Amino acid sequence: MNNTVLEVKHLKTYFFTRSGVVKAVDGISFGLRKGESLCLVGESGCGKTATALSILRLIDSPPGRIIGGEILYHGEDLLRCSSERLRQIRGNRIAMIFQDPQTSLNPVFTIGDQVAEQIKLHLRLKHKPAMERALYLMEQVGIPQARERMKDYPHQFSGGMKQRVMIAAALSCEPEILIADEPTTALDTTIKAQILDIFRDLKQERNMSILFITHDLGTVAGIADRIIVMYGGRVAEAGTALDIFDQPKHPYTHGLFNCLPNISAGRNRLTPIPGMIPSLIDPPEGCIFNPRCEHRMPICSEERPKEVVLSGEHFVACHLYS
């Protein structure tokens, strides 16, 4: 049975800047299934946000352009549908939450108006029923005294509460897919735990598919069913959460785990990954990770590694395994 709701095939998103072409997303493929949470993990500049924005065609153009690939939502290619059709899907069937709730809210409208806005648009409800639905959603995501707080403006909300508002707004049309781009990164530890709980409930109670983007492996461990590790605009390794955490294969995945501070280990030196993240304007030849890799072989700087299936859903793009 095919229960894939969203399929990304060979996606390429480039940014055409004055200093050159930035290959932010360079041939990425994955599928998102009904009711699963898939995490895109990687450091800054690995193309995880560009991938998410490409799915809903939200890439700023110029300088960005999706130059190849397909994004199939139940078989329908979102890259080739009309903008009117895309508007029906965006926010309605596929909703997105951004990292910084501050910049995603309009400071001159009340919170209630902003949550109700898309309800009016997509569900074609009048003001009053739309506001009632907005109230219901805000209560669902745990905003205390929601009826009074609907009349407040964004600046009267704390960061954690604003992120709850964004989640309420994203849920307004009961989307099938939720794309969350670093939704907890700007939040404090105790608030982050509260928000992650909301995501877990959403998945369980509404059987929602979540594409969760983060750089924080701790957050990933708490939420992911499957994980895709990205590096330099490409997939380095993918598999179930247990595949990645218990048996990481790609040297970059290994490196990411090794350099995490560990409370139980004590005051020891960490094992960092040497060097730095490469420029995507002029990326290294062959495997993009090869200049930082301790297992580098001659072939690594010559040929781009293909994806090797290790077991079930676990695959890795590394010459060590081919």
Residues that bind other proteins (CB under 8 A): 43-44, 144, 158-161, 188-194, 196-197, 215-222, 224, 241-242, 245, 255-264, 266-267, 269-274, 276-277
Least distance in Å: CB of 172 to other proteins?
24
Least distance in Å: CB of 185 to other proteins?
10
Q: Which is nearer to other proteins, 115 or 217 (CB)?
A: 217
Q: Which is nearer to other proteins, 188 or 282 (CB)?
A: 188
Residues 6+ apart with CB under 8 A from 10: 27, 28, 29, 68, 69, 70
Q: Specify the pairing of strand 234-240 against strand 226-231.
A: antiparallel
Least distance in Å: CB of 132 to other proteins?
26
Burial of 54 (0-12, 13-18, 19+ CB in 10 A): buried
Q: Which is nearer to other proteins, 172 or 184 (CB)?
A: 184
Least distance in Å: CB of 195 to other proteins?
11
Q: Which is nearer to other proteins, 135 or 220 (CB)?
A: 220
Q: Which is nearer to other proteins, 281 or 299 (CB)?
A: 281
Q: Which is nearer to other proteins, 207 or 271 (CB)?
A: 271
Least distance in Å: CB of 67 to other proteins?
27
Q: Which is nearer to other proteins, 259 or 309 (CB)?
A: 259
* Enclosing H/E stretch for 314: strand 314-317
* DSSP labels, 223-259: H-SEEEEEETTEEEEEEEHHHHHHS--SHHHHHHHHT
* Enclosing H/E stretch for 13: strand 4-17
Least distance in Å: CB of 158 to other proteins?
5
**302 SS3 class:** coil
Least distance in Å: CB of 37 to other proteins?
12
Tokens, residue 209: 């598919």
Cα distances (angstroms) measured from residue 242 to each of 217, 226, 316: 13, 8, 15
9 alpha carbon, distance to own chain's centre: 16
Q: Specify the pairing of strand 307-311 against strand 314-317.
A: antiparallel
